[in-house]
Every structure is written in C-alpha cells, then in structure tokens.
Amino acid sequence: MTVLHKSQIDFFKTQGYLILKGFVETEQMAVWRGQFWTHVGADSQDPASWPDSYVIDDFAVDPAFGQLPQMQAVVEQLGGGLFVGGGGSLLVQWPKKESTWDWPGQGHIDGYGPNGWSGGFMLGATAYLDEVEGQGGAFTYWPQSHLSVHDFFREFPDQIDGSFTKREDWESRQWGLFSDRSPQGPEQFVAEAGDVILWHSFMCHTGSANIRANPRLGLFARWHYAEREVMRYEIPEDLWHYWAI
C-alpha cells in the first residue's frame, strides 16, 4: 500500500501540490499509450497522421488512472475515505512548433461550469503518457496559490458559487483575480511518463503551449467530497477541515 510520508504531506499542505516520481509503472504507461494511439487511429511516429483535438472523444484509459490501487491508497490517506471520484479524461496538447512559447498569463481553478460551482471538489492528479520537457505543453501551476485562493473566499464567501464572475473587475482580470494573488509565479510540470502531480482544488493551474516535437498526452483525475451537498458553499476557516491530514 502506498503511503505518503509526513514530509510529503507537509509539503503538499504548504505548496498545494506534490510530485510523485515513477508513481505509475512503466508497463502500465505502455499499455495506455497503445490504447490511445489505437483509438485515434494514428501512428505515434508519423505527425502527418495525428489528429488535432484537445479532448479525445469517447476514450478513457483502462484501467482508469484514478482507480489504480496506489492512487486509491493515496486518496484514502488524504481524504480518510470521504473523497470519491477518480474519473477523468485525456487531454492533448499537439505540437505547434511555429508558435512562440511564453508563460500563460493566468491560471484558473476547477469546479466551475455553466451552472456555477459544482461543489465539493477537493483533489486533482495529472500524469503524462510520455515524457514532457519544458515548453512541451506542460501542466502549469502556481505554487501556494491554494492559500491565497482560500483567503479570497474567506473574505468573499458568497462568491464561491461563481458570482465572482459578476464582479466589476472580472472583465479586466478574469482568472487573474486568483492567480495574480499567488505568492509564487507559475511552474511547469516537466516530467517522465509515470510521474504524477497531486494538486489541491484551490491551486491555480492551466495548460501551456507545446512548441516541441511530440504531443503532450495528459491524464487527469479529480475527486470530490462524498457528501458535497452538505458543504457545497462552505469555506471553513481551516483549509484542511474536510481532509484527513
């Protein structure tokens, strides 16, 4: 059973993310890569055969990323058995080598759809099917931004429902309303296949441009609090009130 050490949990609580090197076995990554390229009907070595879709319709890796035993063990440890979900998607940043790379201007927080705040989102995880180098479409995140986002919602608790998009400064700032408050600038999740980054739901993040030769094949999984309707609009003083850590 995979168990996070106290130092890892302390890092996660302070930084809002935790990188687990080699968390998914090489053999499993190879199986998932085969499933992906078979589904899209393309040759991984022939760019001319590649599609150009960010979302790969009707596709999910098997077994699901979030349902791996080691992932379930970590989620059990962090959530004390009260986090559910683990479903997710594979999102692709296809190469656009003619583009100029720059840091994304702002990062968003998940959990907001057409009907506002879905409620209860707690934990996310991201992995790649292949190695991703710098400027290769990496998942980009703002360390410690979970703390400043929490501070924002403690100050404006009624806006957790998504009404922050009605603020006078939303048009000019958009999601920068949150990521601009981060005590640190963005970082890229540059990683080998099988490395995993865990991230707190309040951590600002976004995608980035891929100007390298290979596509970024990103797996994402998310977990929410089991009884999310009970605490859907609650912003506890203790950010970790609904966690087991």
Boundaries of every domain in the chain: 6-231
What average pLDDT does the chain have? 95
Give the confidence band of 116 by pLDDT, cuts at 50, 70, 90.
confident
Q: Quick one: average pLDDT of 143-156?
A: 98
Does the structure show a pLDDT above 80 at 202? yes
What is the pLDDT at residue 114?
A: 76
Task: Characterize the bridge pairing of strands 17-20 and 216-225.
Answer: unpaired
- Contact status, residue 210 vs residue 95, Cβ threshold 8 Å: yes
Q: Quick one: 6-231 is in which CATH superfamily?
A: q2cbj1_9rhob like domain (2.60.120.620)
- Tell me what pLDDT residue 72 has: 96
Find the angle CA(27)-CA(8)-CA(154) to the nearest 5 degrees: 120
Residue 97's pLDDT is 80
Within its chain, how far is the Cα of 46 from the centroid? 29
pTM of the model: 0.96
Q: What is the mean pLDDT of residues 214-226?
A: 97
In angstroms, the CA 93 to CA 139 distance is: 10
Average the pLDDT over 105-110 and give the result.
96
pLDDT tens digits for range 18-68? 999 999 999 999 999 999 999 999 999 999 999 999 999 999 999 999 999
Mean pLDDT calculated for residue range 175-192 = 97
